[in-house]
Amino acid sequence: MNGLQKNSRFLRDNLVVFIFLALSLAALPFSGQAGAIPDNLMARVTRNAFLVFALIIPIYAGMGINFSMTLGAMAGQIGLIFCVDWNVVGVWGLLFSAVIGTPIAILFGLLAGSVLNRCKGREMVTSLILGFFMEGVYQLIVLYMFGSVLPLRSPNIELSRGYGVRNILNLATVRGSLDDLVAIKTPAISLGGLVLSPVKIPLVTIAIIVALAFFIVWFKKTKLGQDMRAVGNDMAVAKAAGINVDRTRIISIVISTVLACYGQIIFLQSINNMMTTDAQSQTGFMAAAAILVGGATASHASIKNVLIGVTLLHFMFETVPNAAPRVFGQADVAEYFRSFLSFGVIALSLVLHAYREKKKEEEARRANRIAAGETAAANAAAAAEGGRA
């Protein structure tokens, strides 16, 4: 492979990353708040990174992007509802929410894993639809079962009809309890004409994200991690090697769902309130967009992809929606740009992934044809040689 081919392959493999970087950098001068970007970016990245990490293991097990991670997010939200209802405050409240959410997430993960095992090869679209379906179940729980079947103590969060949780849940009792546990603030920095505002660094949240990254690295080296890799590469070969394929796939989805539960709790503690019925709806799409922006595909993802992706996606969210109203002179285009770009990147990345796979197959076929041609030529030459002798 010559240098030109290498460069073009590198460009093709990282096309989504380059498009996003170019778009964000182009919007930066028009965003009007460049000085605040480092602080906002730090808050956004630490808020989201855990959720995006939840997608790695199913990709590793060959199940593509687990859009049913919203089930884990729902479990986390149910935990937070109980936490607010029982008025468990601060970091203890988060721990309490996680403890409540864990068994629910495991249950949801088992359900999702079983469903996805029945539609091998179409996991992504199935998990997407499963997420929509379970949203209905979640709303049934939140709007009808809380206060009737599941007891609610606080009239503050209960709908006045006597059952159901209010649409917006105030999370003031747990707000920032993890981010502010141990945090440092850098001083403001002046770079030429630009003043970068102080950046708050939430050390505990970062430590948890780093610990999760190390856990994933360690997990990949375990027997179960190697089994997942084998299943992800080729299910038939893995089965022939004695690996329980279905069980391995279910475990990967359960781990992803439980991580999504914790990720959603970390995400929501960073925000003051929770949209009770639909806070989870965008979780899967945003996490998928982030990991795809980072250069991951439906069949390969790494920690590097997560970190690059979360940073780039939120860098784009900080610049493009703010630049768009200035460029187009209309304030309401900001949200349009946000949605358009996040969904657009998912579509673009999946199309590129399909294109790459097709290209790879074509290359493999061509290589086979050439190899077959060379063998035939060699055979013919050998036969001619034999005839002459």
Partner 1 sequence: MSNGNGTSGLSTRLADPVFRRRLAIRAALVALVAGIGAFSMVVGRGHTVVLDDMRPKDGSYEPVRMLSAKLGRGKAVELSSGVRELVTVTGQSPKLVVDWMDGSEPVSVELSIPFKQDFVIVYLPKLKAGIEPWVEPFFPYASAKPAEEAAPAATEAP
**Where does this chain bind partner 1 (CB under 8 A)?**
86-93, 95-96, 99-100, 102-103, 139, 143, 153-156, 158-161, 164, 166-167, 173, 277-278
Minimum gap (Å) between residue 120 Cβ and partner 1 = 26
> Cβ atoms within 10 A of the Cβ of 200, count?
16
Minimum gap (Å) between residue 13 Cβ and partner 1 = 36
User: Looking at beta carbons only, is 158 or 246 nearer to partner 1?
Assistant: 158
- Between CA 68 and CA 127 the distance in angstroms is 5
User: Looking at beta carbons only, is 136 or 187 nearer to partner 1?
Assistant: 136
Phi, psi of 319 (to 5 degrees): -100, -55
Alpha carbon distances (Å) from 284 to 261, 288, 360 = 12, 6, 28
Minimum gap (Å) between residue 129 Cβ and partner 1 = 11
Sign of CA dihedral 267, 262, 205, 174: positive
Cβ(98)–Cβ(75) under 8 Å? no
User: Looking at beta carbons only, is 43 or 134 nearer to partner 1?
Assistant: 134
Cβ(146)–Cβ(152) under 8 Å? yes
Q: Which tokens is 94 given? A: 């988060």
Minimum gap (Å) between residue 153 Cβ and partner 1 = 8
Minimum gap (Å) between residue 135 Cβ and partner 1 = 9
**Amino acid identity at 64:** G
Minimum gap (Å) between residue 177 Cβ and partner 1 = 10
User: Looking at beta carbons only, is 143 or 181 nearer to partner 1?
Assistant: 143
User: Looking at beta carbons only, is 155 or 373 nearer to partner 1?
Assistant: 155
User: Looking at beta carbons only, is 99 or 203 nearer to partner 1?
Assistant: 99
User: Looking at beta carbons only, is 49 or 165 nearer to partner 1?
Assistant: 165
> Cβ atoms within 10 A of the Cβ of 221, count?
9
- Between CA 225 and CA 252 the distance in angstroms is 9
Strand (E) or helix (H) holding 154: none
Residues shown for the chain = 389
Long-range contacts of 210-213 (CB under 8 A, 24+ apart): 212/50, 212/53, 212/259, 213/53, 213/303, 213/306
User: Looking at beta carbons only, is 86 or 219 nearer to partner 1?
Assistant: 86
Minimum gap (Å) between residue 53 Cβ and partner 1 = 21
- Between CA 127 and CA 130 the distance in angstroms is 5
Minimum gap (Å) between residue 166 Cβ and partner 1 = 6
**Residues pairing with 170 in the sheet:** 273
Cβ(98)–Cβ(65) under 8 Å? no
Minimum gap (Å) between residue 228 Cβ and partner 1 = 20
User: Looking at beta carbons only, is 84 or 199 nearer to partner 1?
Assistant: 84
Minimum gap (Å) between residue 83 Cβ and partner 1 = 9
User: Looking at beta carbons only, is 144 or 214 nearer to partner 1?
Assistant: 144
Sign of CA dihedral 286, 288, 290, 293: negative
- Between CA 134 and CA 129 the distance in angstroms is 9
Cβ(103)–Cβ(72) under 8 Å? no
Alpha helices in 235-332 (DSSP H): 235-240, 245-269, 283-293, 303-328
